[in-house]
Structure 1
Amino acid sequence: MFPTREDVHGIRRLEVLREAAASFNFKGYHGTSMNEIAASLGVTKAALYHYFPNKTSLLAACFEHAMDAAFASMERARKEGRNGRERLVLTMSYYVAQLINELNCCVVLMEDRALEPEDQAKLVRQRDRFERALRGFIREGIDDGSVVPCDPKLAIFVILGAMNWVPKWFKPSGVWKPDQLNTALAQMFERLISSSPVAAMAGDVGELPSRSDPPSSLSALAELGRGARVTKIAKKIKQSR
């Protein structure tokens, strides 16, 4: 039940990624220094180099984490969704939950030009594969009748453009809770492509059910745990400081 050395290293690495991603999203990659990231974490700059050799490798790790979350979200949605529309909306919902939850370390996917050529090429391949799979859900939905006939490429560009920008403006300390925002976004994405769209959506995001409220189908849509064990270990490490 006690965290191993590998657990501690992994959790602290995630803490560095999370802080770096927050800074990159707020100030931009070029506007963020390793000194600032270290200061925010209360450690020395040298301590950061124990986990990442330089700022570029830190950015690459943020992108890698984001894409890992994207594909994990897609695989879960592929198993749970009953048609193309559900698989697409669930993928987006689970992915947004990763982008904005408390342990996230996903960076806005707009800073890829700062990557080393090899890392950028890898990211482009992963991103293209993810987008192709999402377009596949659109085509699947058109075929099964759950998605209105549309251009799959344009539909996915619109959805990803909206979704990838969320970490840029969303603040966990703001009026909206992460799961409330996630539910509202899922409603919008679904209505955008649905062959039988609902007549109305949430009039006030802040009034949607949250985790502190009784379980409901809306709040359940936003659930994507990062693992109870990891969360407990992270809390233990913070409490021991």
Structure 2
Amino acid sequence: MGDSDTDFREMIADGWREALNDSERKQEMRRLSLVRAAGRAFGRKGFHKTTLDEIATELSVTKPMLYRYVKSKQEILYECHRIAISMAEEAHSAAMLSGRTPLERISHFAEDYVARITSTLGSCVVLTEFFSMTPEDTARIQTRRARLDRELRALVSDAIDAGEIAPCDPKLAVFFFMGAINGISRWFMADGPMEGPEIARVFAAHITASLNPTGKTALAG
């Protein structure tokens, strides 16, 4: 195991131990530490083959200690999707305030969302596991995803109406760039050659270029 991999595991474990000792920050730090540790474990063996014992090992805690906070892998999976959709919603809200035009807002959303998921969730291939959640949790996440999808489609429609991009199907446009963003969890490594902010800038540039066949300059810096 490389030094960077060891350092990352120690960071996760430190975050877990700090969460145990700080009641005010405990809940959110516990969730993030769980998701990051689970993401690494699931990435090695897959969601269904990974045990809670292996996740406890990733956190450097005992299984009884882990059971004080989570009872199943489905709970961890739900937390991962809850955190991810929350970050997407926050990125959308920020983009609506920061972008001057619809296409700028799409770009700002993409860059912000990618930066958030890579910095907060790290390698979280478990995001590709959606229907392994309980039906109730799946419905909760799906409701929020559907709302975000409608808001992003509206942005694409606004960009078309503003003449920033050529006429297209907003539904397919959103499927295209959200599929690209969500696919990052399959290959991103926190200790890889490119850091999250750099990947975020590149993805935002590619998305803007793909949606801007008119050749107009849509971004300011």
* TM-score higher than 0.5: yes
- Output the CA distance in 1 between the equivalents of 2:110 and 2:186: 17
Aligned letter for 2:111? S
Deviations 1:142-198 (A, max 9, x none): 111222211111111111111111011011212212211111111100001125447
- Percent identity (aligned): 34
- Consecutive unaligned residues of structure 1, counting only runs of 5 or more, are 200-216, 218-241
Q: Which amino acid aligns with 2:88?
A: A
Structure 1 counterpart of 2:84: 66
Cα pair distance change 1:124/1:12, threshold 3 Å: closer
- Taking the aligned partners of 1:198 and 1:46, their CA distance within structure 2 comes to 58
- In structure 2, how many angstroms separate the alpha carbons of the residues matched to 1:62 and 1:119? 11
Find the counterpart in structure 2 of residue 170 from structure 1: 188
Distance change in 2, residues 1:107/1:132 (3 Å)? farther
Q: Secondary structure at the match of 1:113?
A: coil
Relative distance call for 1:165 and 1:39 in structure 2 (3 A) is same
1:66/1:107 contact within 8 Å kept: no
- Post-superposition offset of 1:59: 0.7
Aligned pair 1:96/2:96, yes or no?
A: no
Q: Is structure 2 residue 171 aligned with structure 1 residue 128? A: no
Counterpart of 2:158?
140
Q: Deviations over 1:59-112 (max 9, x none)?
A: 1111111111110010000111111111111111111111111x3265554311
One-letter amino acid of the structure 2 residue matched with residue 115 of structure 1? M
The 5 A counterparts of 1:222-241 are none
Provide TM-score, normalisation by structure 2.
Answer: 0.82
User: 1:80 is matched with which residue?
Assistant: 98
Task: Measure, in 1, the Cα distance between the counterparts of 2:216 and 2:96.
Answer: 23
CA distance in 1 between counterparts of 2:49 and 2:192 reads 24
Return the alpha-carbon distance in structure 1 between the equivalents of residues 121 and 97 of structure 2.
Answer: 23
With the length of structure 1 as denominator, give the TM-score of the two structures: 0.75
Number of aligned residues: 198
Q: Is the 2:127–2:185 Cα contact (8 Å) retained in structure 1?
A: no
Measured after TM superposition, the shift of residue 9 of structure 1 is 4.3
Q: Distance in 1 between matches of 2:140 and 2:168?
A: 30
List runs of 5+ in structure 2 lacking aligned partners: 1-20
Task: Write out the 4+ residue segments of structure 1 that deviate beyond 6 Å after TM superposition.
Answer: none
Equivalent in 198, 202, 209 of residue 191 of structure 1: 209
My pick for the range that moved more, 131-140 or 84-93, is 84-93
Take 2:109 and 2:93, find their aligned partners in 1: how far apart are those partners? 8
Identify if the C-alpha distance between structure 1 residues 12 and 108 changes in structure 2 by more than 3 Å, giving closer, same or farther: closer
The alignment partner of 1:16 has SS state of helix
Q: For residue 16 of structure 1, report the CA deviation from its aligned partner.
A: 1.4
Counterparts of 1:131 and 1:26, CA distance in 2: 30
| Higher helix proportion | 2
Please tell me whether the aligned partners of residues 191 and 198 of structure 1 are also in contact (alpha carbons under 8 angstroms): no
Q: CA RMSD in A?
A: 2.2
Match of 2:4 in 1: none
* Matched ranges for 1:106-117 at <5 A: 108-117=126-135
